[in-house]
Amino acid sequence: MTTNAQEFDRARAAMPGGVNSPVRAFGSVAETPRFFVSASGPYVTDVEGREYVDLVGSWGPAILGHAHPAVVKAVQDAAAHGLGFGASTPGETELAELIAARVLRQAQQPGGTATHPVERVRLVSTGTEATMTAIRLARGATGRDLVVKFAGHYHGHSDGLLAEAGSGVATLAMPGSAGVPAAIAAQTLVIPYNDLDAVREVFAARGDEIAAVIVEAAPANMGIVPPRHGFNAALADIAHAHGALLILDEVLTGFRVGPAGWYGIDPVPFTPDLITFGKVVGGGLPLAAIGGPAALMELLAPLGPVYQAGTLSGNPLAVAAGRATLDHLDAAAYARIDAAATTIAEAAASALAEAGVTHVLQRSGNLFSIQFAPEPPTDYDTVKAQEAFRYPPFFRAMLAQGVSLPPSVFEAWFVSASHDQAAVSRIVDALPAAARAAAEATPD
């Protein structure tokens, strides 16, 4: 039997850092990365044959649980008919219709927005492609070049969006990325999150040059930092007053925190111009999407002048996985996810309090994270000010007890509909020892 350490040595000889996505290297938690070979429900199993209760969930897509029978069968059935055709398939239309219908149902609810924000959908392969396409579309629609983003928000790794990004960029403490030309970086204006005065100021100074504001609907890439009440609605109002668009990034929250994503549960109704989806919408396979009103979306080729293409866009296996996942995300599934998330989150906070660890628990729907701070962080600067050194020993203690957490303090915890009482109990039982490890931690 091979070990995780042996697999990592072999991987480092073949791939940069031994990984194909930086956070997988476990560098920020000072641990050997686990190499998984199978998964089922709320569990994952590594090359050494050890089983863990999983709170990563493939970074969100495994919302029904790993290897859900209906999703697996849908993919197997699709594969039996061919892995891809380089041509259109009925399944693409069906998934696009399903995405639009979920958002429309929310728009029609009492208190919902008056207009339907998703009349057309373009399928792509990754969240990075989705946000990149949304920005290109916004620039094409407005004839402007500048984009406003918020520090700590992660919108994929396209050149213009890596400045002060969250997720892996935050984990590695990188200000941005080498290889991004200064002229491209200058087209992105980065301002503090949850600060409407900063939004008004940047628009007052350069409003006639700004094509769009892009925002995570409820940030989950610097830990969970919920938007202030009415923040997204105010963003829409400010952007529209200056002829700019609002791009709502729901790659993480879309169809996870509710049937219509964060858009569906935001307490103050608003209408974004474009919404990007990912993770859940592909059911664990590479698929993402951009949605918006017909007049805007039909600026995309072949109807309009904004070009976007992808050989694997709308791949039939990914489409099948996404459709099966959304089909099984009913009210009962969301109720199970919400209940399990509440139990785990409250148990984590209780264990840390019992151990005397300064912390806050922040939630956006069923997404949550622990941050080692005395007050709830509201932006990237306050997130970075926490005692992040407490997370690595906390993480390692959970891992040693068979619980796989996100390997970074800057990531959300993901619960699935398959996290039953047995899985939740294993997590809860592991928390006191992990909390004590966090309490004993000291800065380097």
Catalytic residues: 154, 249, 279
User: CA 293, CA 306: separation in Å to the nearest integer?
Assistant: 15
Closest CA to 409 of 226, 223, 175: 223
Q: How far apart are CA 165 and CA 394, in angstroms?
A: 24
Amino acid, single-letter form, for residue 57 = G
Rounded to 5°, the CA angle 132-138-144 comes to 115
H helices present in 270-406, as ranges:
294-297, 316-328, 331-354, 380-384, 391-400
Strand order in the sheet with 36-40: 36-40, 43-46, 51-54, 403-404
Q: Using DSSP, state whether 442 is helix, strand or coil.
A: coil
d(Cα 422, Cα 69) in Å, to the nearest integer? 20
Provide the CA 399 distance to its chain's centre, in angstroms. 22
* Residue 333: Cβ within 10 Å count: 18
Helix axes 196-206, 231-241, angle to 10 degrees: 10
Instruction: Give the single-character DSSP code of 46.
Output: E
Distance of alpha carbon 372 from alpha carbon 364, whole angstroms: 17
Query: Strand order in 146-150's β-sheet?
Result: 120-124, 288-292, 274-277, 245-250, 210-216, 146-150, 188-191
